[in-house]
Structure 1
């Protein structure tokens, strides 16, 4: 029965197709697996840098060209890629992940053939047993997420990485399979309607465009659901030995339209753990639900952890970016780079790579149009104000650090508390790049300081130190950067002991004086205050609540946040 499913109407990333050439593998786990043996050789660091680097074709004579020609030449900067540390990290992750995912999907392995011939419909319909029990093979697949603001280079880096691999490799004959078109990678953009069903349909339609097949026509109907499409998706992924599935713009995923959190979680769990397909999810900070515990469990641990990218703050990296673009001036008068010009570009772009390149282009266009034909700080500011007007509020929000303004741009800034908690509690090391790495370091330092502060408060209470003295001493020592964190408790104990000793001497002196002088009137309100404090402390102990917590609840101890 023909279906009326709308065809994919957006461009998809397509790579080269080639015949299989098998290479001897040094790593034992890779030997004898045709899906691995036909992949390009594992690249060294310098080879990756050379492969990523992308610069305009430029010659100084181009500076003498007519204005209209130079205007066009400047646009070449739009394709410039300057390799940075996170580019190497991304490439190496894919290199390991693709090969690791193929280890349990060797077409020559008898267990894999049994699973393939059994069909995924039976595996996915195995109720009561659990999906893992229905699948005899243990998946070696893994996945990770890449999160960061728009314009930082996430999609560009991933696309560059994928295009360094052939997309389709044609095997003339594999024993037990015959002719095989191996699809090494597939990149999908999460549909704007945010539904998992649309994502599944895009999967089939994209493969049809790449392979010239008609899977969407024969599989997808108007009555199709995610549950009916998943087994066919699994079967086609296995049939073509799909190496990795990249889902970009994952922040578009709507849990409401996808049947809720449980269904979305089940979808990603099946992709990785049952199909054995490595999955990489890419998105802005709006996709932070990926870092919640339930979704984190859906991504099999791979030992690499997720990646969080942010704008550049390293002077070394910023100098590298500016120096890489600076020679590409189509001005009649070449302007040497200075620290003031670098700082001005940073001020107007806030370390976002895509924005600084566009700003450099607009500045040159303005220089030619105004007949000044040279770059200046004033011209950079003018280009930012007039040509990048739509993103000025975005940049201003970052520059001022105004969190209320930042909330208007959901992809700009993470909800720091939830993100930082994920980083601290993650079983694997999360790789941080740029501003987010600096903020994590600061937040982690504050958290350590706060923990020490409350521990010192508790110690002082346990030793009987007077409350006001206790708070002031804990604050003083916890905030003292000249004392190592590991030494602060010892220093605190010594000072508490001295204060208590001094207090005892003072009490003896007061007792002697009281015998010689008439009794003073007791301050009832002060006595009641002390009595209330002791009462709160004792009540907390009776309820198995730490003394410091019970006093905080009753307002006797100030919050640490009041001091930082």
Structure 2
């Protein structure tokens, strides 16, 4: 494989297109399943079927300590990011893990690169002829690669769960002894308004990113569907792709009909000889080619159907973990917010986590604002938000959930049969809340920034005034002692005001007669001379 110019050898961790390419060197372990023995593609994988499945590790609970409530404003704003990656294990997560592992292992069981099928068949044939018997010459193989799916509403965490499951597997394994670079899994995110022909190109590009290869260079600028499929199949066969995951598959089903779409869903899994997992909305089934073949295969190999909202038991588990992450002054109990969170988000975790984030961002911002006003001995009309309340959640949901209000209303009424593709609207909500959190973070820091700038400006004024007073013959120790206190009395006063005030104070303490006009005139003249000196002009 190393002599193929379009495949670049990888040593450890490389960087390709700004992304890290992670690869491991193969370590082989014996396996107990008979059909897996002697298969390097399986022996190099983690021992999923020879050890306890890592069910307890499916959850991802970011670190949290109650002492973080006393951390700085910026620290707490950054801590809110942890909410987005929190994952609590649900029963269907375990089912997805078993589906992924079972299909991947089963796909590899019949693809042993060290097994010479022709030699095996010839040997069996020879023995049968010698014995004058009739028996099977070739081992049975499935008629097609498996095709399975995870279909459910947006915001339930489908993509996050699959990504978590895949994280238990290395993506690329280098079998140096056999010159094989095994691509264990390949996940492709389907963007909006793509065609099946676009999808094949995305598959090739995703493989290039994972391997550090350049198979895309084999394509013409306007390559056809068959040409792209040929390159994709070459990748799948040369690199023994174990599983292809197509996320948001409904997006590529909105464009195109007929032969190409039918060919992909019925033919590609066979010629690529790789299990395919579809992740998407329930409308995927309605947009499948209306032949029985792909629909039957999806049903046979397993669809994990989800609704548009969490079941009550799942929601209780999720919410119990979510409310643990609070960085406000006081913590809200789950009893205080459970009902209102369920009502406002309709048990859609993608909305619940966003609402929980923005509520805390608002509270942290109000705390910072209140603290600043107190430090300046200023009055503030509103008290700080010390903890999350039902009223705060309702106010924020009313503001930020407008794009999905019609969806939430239909879910409340149980009209969930044909909700369509509402991914874009959920993304709009997420983007708006992300922007609002950034603005809240800036607002919380803005007062301090202004103070710092003001302090910096005051220091410059004192330095400038000190220089002029020294050039006027004033004593340095007296000037340095008095000017800071004078400047603090009038932060908006300029250099001229500060010098005049100093000279007034000095003449007042020495009982010398003062002529304010003469004094100001003298200061202006001295400032003009100082300006001329520093700008290279003659006086």
TM-score, normalising length: structure 1: 0.61
Match of 1:169 in 2: 173
* Alpha-carbon distance, 1:310 to partner: 1.8
Going from structure 1 to structure 2, the CA distance change for 1:113 and 1:353 (only over 3 Å counts) comes to farther
* Alpha-carbon distance, 1:407 to partner: 5.4
Q: Secondary structure at the match of 1:328?
A: coil
- Partner of residue 394 from structure 2, selected from 366, 378, 381: 381
Structure 1 position 184 matched with structure 2 position 184: yes
Contact residue 139 and residue 276 of structure 1 kept, 8 A: no
Contact residue 215 and residue 231 of structure 2 kept, 8 A: no
Going from structure 1 to structure 2, the CA distance change for 1:299 and 1:25 (only over 3 Å counts) comes to farther
Match of 2:376 in 1: none
Rounded Cα–Cα distance in structure 1 between residues aligned with 2:241 and 2:411: 40
* Alpha-carbon distance, 1:66 to partner: 3.2
Unmatched runs of 5 consecutive residues or more in structure 2 = 1-16, 121-139, 367-383, 424-539
- C-alpha RMSD over aligned residues: 3.1
Q: Secondary structure at the match of 1:207?
A: helix
Question: Deviation digits for residues 275-304 of structure 1, max 9, x if unmatched?
Answer: 311011111133233566626536747855
Q: How does 1:201-350 map to 2 (within 5 A)?
A: 201-217=201-217, 219-254=218-253, 256-257=255-256, 260-289=257-286, 294=291, 296-297=293-294, 300=297, 304-338=301-335, 341-350=337-346
Rounded Cα–Cα distance in structure 2 between residues aligned with 1:263 and 1:70: 51
* Alpha-carbon distance, 1:153 to partner: 0.9
Going from structure 1 to structure 2, the CA distance change for 1:81 and 1:237 (only over 3 Å counts) comes to same
Rounded Cα–Cα distance in structure 2 between residues aligned with 1:235 and 1:299: 27
Q: Secondary structure at the match of 1:22?
A: coil
Match of 1:354 in 2: 350
Q: Secondary structure at the match of 1:188?
A: strand
Rounded Cα–Cα distance in structure 1 between residues aligned with 2:118 and 2:160: 35
Rounded Cα–Cα distance in structure 2 between residues aligned with 1:266 and 1:82: 38
Q: Tell me whether 79-88 or 137-146 shows the greater mean CA deviation.
A: 137-146
- Partner of residue 89 from structure 1, selected from 71, 95, 101: 95
Structure 1 position 394 matched with structure 2 position 390: no
* Alpha-carbon distance, 1:201 to partner: 1.5
Contact residue 62 and residue 85 of structure 2 kept, 8 A: yes
Question: Deviation digits for residues 12-47 of structure 1, max 9, x if unmatched?
Answer: 997731001111111111111111111111179985
Going from structure 1 to structure 2, the CA distance change for 1:139 and 1:36 (only over 3 Å counts) comes to farther
Q: Secondary structure at the match of 2:24?
A: strand
Rounded Cα–Cα distance in structure 2 between residues aligned with 1:112 and 1:50: 44
Going from structure 1 to structure 2, the CA distance change for 1:70 and 1:38 (only over 3 Å counts) comes to same
Match of 1:48 in 2: 54
Q: Secondary structure at the match of 1:145?
A: strand
* Alpha-carbon distance, 1:216 to partner: 0.5
Contact residue 141 and residue 277 of structure 1 kept, 8 A: yes
Q: Tell me whether 101-110 or 367-376 shows the greater mean CA deviation.
A: 367-376
Contact residue 15 and residue 163 of structure 1 kept, 8 A: no
Contact residue 68 and residue 76 of structure 2 kept, 8 A: yes
Rounded Cα–Cα distance in structure 2 between residues aligned with 1:28 and 1:13: 39
Rounded Cα–Cα distance in structure 1 between residues aligned with 2:71 and 2:410: 40
Rounded Cα–Cα distance in structure 2 between residues aligned with 1:317 and 1:237: 38
Q: Secondary structure at the match of 2:54?
A: helix
Q: How does 1:118-129 map to 2 (within 5 A)?
A: none
Going from structure 1 to structure 2, the CA distance change for 1:254 and 1:112 (only over 3 Å counts) comes to farther
* Alpha-carbon distance, 1:366 to partner: 2.5
Rounded Cα–Cα distance in structure 1 between residues aligned with 2:206 and 2:118: 25
Going from structure 1 to structure 2, the CA distance change for 1:26 and 1:46 (only over 3 Å counts) comes to closer
* Alpha-carbon distance, 1:250 to partner: 1.0
Going from structure 1 to structure 2, the CA distance change for 1:43 and 1:66 (only over 3 Å counts) comes to farther
Unmatched runs of 5 consecutive residues or more in structure 1 = 1-10, 115-135, 413-564
Match of 2:156 in 1: 152
Rounded Cα–Cα distance in structure 2 between residues aligned with 1:227 and 1:113: 32
Rounded Cα–Cα distance in structure 1 between residues aligned with 2:346 and 2:119: 53
Rounded Cα–Cα distance in structure 2 between residues aligned with 1:361 and 1:192: 27
Going from structure 1 to structure 2, the CA distance change for 1:354 and 1:301 (only over 3 Å counts) comes to closer
Going from structure 1 to structure 2, the CA distance change for 1:388 and 1:256 (only over 3 Å counts) comes to closer
Q: Secondary structure at the match of 1:253?
A: helix
* Alpha-carbon distance, 1:392 to partner: 2.8
TM-score, normalising length: structure 2: 0.63
Contact residue 253 and residue 287 of structure 2 kept, 8 A: no
Q: Secondary structure at the match of 1:247?
A: strand
Q: Secondary structure at the match of 2:111?
A: coil
Question: Deviation digits for residues 418-471 of structure 1, max 9, x if unmatched?
Answer: xxxxxxxxxxxxxxxxxxxxxxxxxxxxxxxxxxxxxxxxxxxxxxxxxxxxxx
- Partner of residue 366 from structure 1, selected from 344, 356, 362: 362
Rounded Cα–Cα distance in structure 2 between residues aligned with 1:389 and 1:25: 54
Going from structure 1 to structure 2, the CA distance change for 1:138 and 1:375 (only over 3 Å counts) comes to closer
Rounded Cα–Cα distance in structure 2 between residues aligned with 1:268 and 1:13: 30
Rounded Cα–Cα distance in structure 1 between residues aligned with 2:308 and 2:118: 44
* Alpha-carbon distance, 1:207 to partner: 1.7
* Alpha-carbon distance, 1:347 to partner: 0.3
Contact residue 55 and residue 77 of structure 1 kept, 8 A: no
Question: Deviation digits for residues 73-124 of structure 1, max 9, x if unmatched?
Answer: 223211111111111111110110001011221112223899xxxxxxxxxx
Contact residue 237 and residue 272 of structure 2 kept, 8 A: yes
Q: How does 1:36-115 map to 2 (within 5 A)?
A: 36-42=42-48, 48-111=54-117
Contact residue 142 and residue 299 of structure 1 kept, 8 A: no
Q: Tell me whether 227-236 or 284-293 shows the greater mean CA deviation.
A: 284-293
Going from structure 1 to structure 2, the CA distance change for 1:265 and 1:88 (only over 3 Å counts) comes to same
Rounded Cα–Cα distance in structure 2 between residues aligned with 1:271 and 1:233: 10
* Alpha-carbon distance, 1:410 to partner: 3.6
Match of 2:127 in 1: none
Q: Tell me whether 298-307 or 323-332 shows the greater mean CA deviation.
A: 298-307
